[in-house]
Every structure is written in C-alpha cells, then in structure tokens.
Amino acid sequence: MSYSTRGHTNKGAYDQPFSGVGVEFDPLGAPPDRTGVTLHESGYLPDNTDWNFPSVLSPFWRLMHNRRPGHCVLFGDEMTELTRDRLVLIPPHQYFHCLGQNPVPACWLAFSFTRRLEAAHYPVVVLRPHAIEISLIRALCRLIETNETWAPTAPILHHSLALLHVVLCRPELRWRAPAPPMLERARLQIEQHFATAPSNPELAATAGMSLTGFTRAFRREFSTTPASYMTGVRVREAALLLLQTDATIEAIAERTGFPNRAYFSRVFQKVTGESPAGFRRKHRPC
C-alpha cells in the first residue's frame, strides 16, 4: 500500500512536529515520559518521492532510516546520505536541507528529549544500526503500513519508543552535564517568568554575567538564543492551556505574555504549524 493513495500531503520536517504523512502522537506541550522522551510522530513511506525541503530549522529531534540510497540531508557543505546501513540522528535546532527525488522506503521518528548531546556530536549523528534496531524498524514499518486509519496505536507507540530508547542508550552518544548554575538560574527565570518576558540584560544580571558573555554562553549551552527559548516556553505553556482548560484564546495569549490574540496566533502557527483554535480542535481529548 502506498501513502500516495491516501490523499495526504507531506509538509516536511520544518518547525512543526507532524509531517502530515505519519502517525501522530503527542503534540507540542505534552510532558515527557519518565525517560525524558516525548514521541510526536512515527512515519514510514514505502515510496517516498517527496524529499526536497530546503532550509529546515526544527525544534524537534529526528531519527531517520532509509532502506535504499537516493535521499540525503545537507548540513552546510556536508552531505549525509540516508541508507540501509545508517541510522541518522538529528538533534533539535539544526539547520539543514532535505534532498532527493527517487522513490525510497523511508522511516522516521520525530520526538523531544530532555537531555542534550555534547557539542562534538552536532549537527548530525550517523550510527551503524544494530540487529535489534533493524528488527524494530522493520516491525514498526509493517505496523504503520497496515494502519488503514492513520490513528495512533499502542503497538506503534511501543515499537517507536523501544527503538528510541535503544538508540539513545548507545554508548557512542555522549551527553552533556547539567548546565552551569549561572545559566541554569537564567533558564529557570525564563521558565518561571515567561509571561513577563524578562529581557536579556535582566537574565544576564540573574546569571551574574556580562550581556555579551551571557548571550554567547546561553546559545552555546542550549543551542538557541534566550529569545527563542522564551518563545518556545510560552508556546509550550499556551499549548498546555489549550489542551487542558476552556480559557479563551485571548485569555491564553494574555496569560502567556503575548500582547494580543493576533500576535499570539502568528507565533503559535509558526512554531506548531497550526492555529491555536485548530490545535485545540485537533489535539484536545474528547
């Protein structure tokens, strides 16, 4: 069965967690499980011919595996092919291009993870898959391909999480230690006071650092700017309110620090790929 017969459009791997051609699980704002992993999407296309997405900058992790060559991801001048003997792991906030037109069997996972890799692993990690990983990928692809409704199922969820846990426990991956205390103080200030939007000078003062030193250190440690981190927190909290309360969109915009509904809607749409109202209708439990 080919996904091309289902009438869905591949939206790519931009700043939303859902490509439009995968099985969707937890949206932005969902809490991680006890291991720190939040699964957003599991996907498999037996004949993926739509793989030209330039200028991707995604806040989500990606795990990719193709059964045949023909597609690649490009980081600057470095090209990484997607092939049978490679698991390609892309950390969040990396800038890359997706290239390829040949029909290729492609499997991918989009997820969030609370830990961060050491800088030497960026912008992409290429691993030779182990037998257990190949077995999980094959089983996952069969489950997705036979899923007529595109609805999330427990077997797809469990196979996806099992694959992620096996990959993320690989000894080749080196994980960063917790952030330095001064940067952690600034990060917590953003988390706790995102509605009032503390400025960079205020955050630098909290960290006890110069403004220039703080902004450089924050970007180096968290792979994003203080302003982008704050936007992510505000959208995340807004997403939780949309899912868990009956508050109006105007009230949610005010509670999360946005000046008005129109600006809130533009930012939310840019980050999630959906309007606040559409997000609530689609993802809120019945």
209: pLDDT strictly greater than 90: yes
What pLDDT does residue 27 have? 79
- CA atoms of 144 and 146, how far apart (whole Å): 5
Residue 147 lies in a domain: yes
Residues 112 and 186 in one domain: no
Residues 8 and 146 in one domain: yes
Residues 42 and 147 in one domain: yes
33: pLDDT strictly greater than 90: no
Residues 137 and 186 in one domain: no
Residue 134 lies in a domain: yes
The CATH number assigned to the domain holding 214 equals 1.10.10.60
246: pLDDT strictly greater than 90: yes
- CA atoms of 246 and 173, how far apart (whole Å): 42
Residue 86 tokens, joined = 């490679």
Residues 103 and 237 in one domain: no
Residues 161 and 22 in one domain: yes
69: pLDDT strictly greater than 50: yes
- CA atoms of 20 and 23, how far apart (whole Å): 8
Highest mean pLDDT among 3-12, 19-28, 95-104, 203-212: 203-212
Write the pLDDT tens digit of every residue in 163-206: 999 999 999 999 988 889 999 899 989 989 999 999 999 999 99
pTM: 0.72
The average confidence (pLDDT) of the chain is: 89
What pLDDT does residue 1 have? 31
186 Cβ contact list (under 8 Å, min separation 6): 203, 204, 206, 207, 214, 218, 226
Residue 161 lies in a domain: yes
Residue 176 lies in a domain: no
Residues 39 and 162 in one domain: yes
Residue 128 lies in a domain: yes
Residues 161 and 188 in one domain: no
Q: Ramachandran region of residue 72, left (φ > 0), alpha (ψ -120 to 50) or beta?
A: beta
- CA atoms of 26 and 278, how far apart (whole Å): 15
Our count of domains for the chain comes to 2
Total count of residues recorded for the chain = 286
Residues 20 and 153 in one domain: yes
Residue that finishes a domain, picked among 115, 147, 168: 168
Rounded percentage of the chain residues whose pLDDT exceeds 70: 95
Residues 129 and 260 in one domain: no
Largest CA distance in the chain: 59
Rounded percentage of the chain residues whose pLDDT exceeds 90: 62
8 A C-beta contact, residue 107 and residue 62: no
62: pLDDT strictly greater than 70: yes
What pLDDT does residue 94 have? 85
- State the residue for tokens 């193709």: 66
Q: What is the residue range of 13's domain? A: 3-168
What pLDDT does residue 232 have? 86
Residue 174 lies in a domain: no
Residues 141 and 265 in one domain: no
| Residue type present at position 198 | P
The CATH number assigned to the domain holding 116 equals 2.60.120.10
What pLDDT does residue 4 have? 42
Residue that finishes a domain, picked among 137, 168, 199: 168
- DSSP calls for the chain: --GGGGT-----SSSSS--SSSEE---TTPPP-TTSEEEEEEEEEEEE----EEEEEESSEEEEEESSSSEEEEETTEEEEE-TT-EEEE-TTEEEEEE--S-EEEEEEEEEES--B-GGG-S-EEEPPPHHHHHHHHHHHHHHHT-TT----HHHHHHHHHHHHHHHT-TT--BPPPPPHHHHHHHHHHHHHGGG---HHHHHHHHTS-HHHHHHHHHHHHSS-HHHHHHHHHHHHHHHHHHH----HHHHHHHTT-SSHHHHHHHHHHHHSS-HHHHHHHHS--
Confidence bin at 31 (pLDDT 50/70/90): confident
What pLDDT does residue 51 have? 86
Confidence bin at 6 (pLDDT 50/70/90): low
Write the pLDDT tens digit of every residue in 107-133: 999 999 988 899 899 999 999 999 999
For 242-266, what is the mean pLDDT? 93
Residue 22 lies in a domain: yes
Residue that finishes a domain, picked among 168, 193, 223: 168
Residues 159 and 38 in one domain: yes
What pLDDT does residue 2 have? 35
- CA atoms of 70 and 161, how far apart (whole Å): 27
Residue 19 lies in a domain: yes
What pLDDT does residue 273 have? 77
What pLDDT does residue 15 have? 62
What pLDDT does residue 13 have? 61
| CA-based nearest residue to 10, from 21, 2, 18, 1 | 21
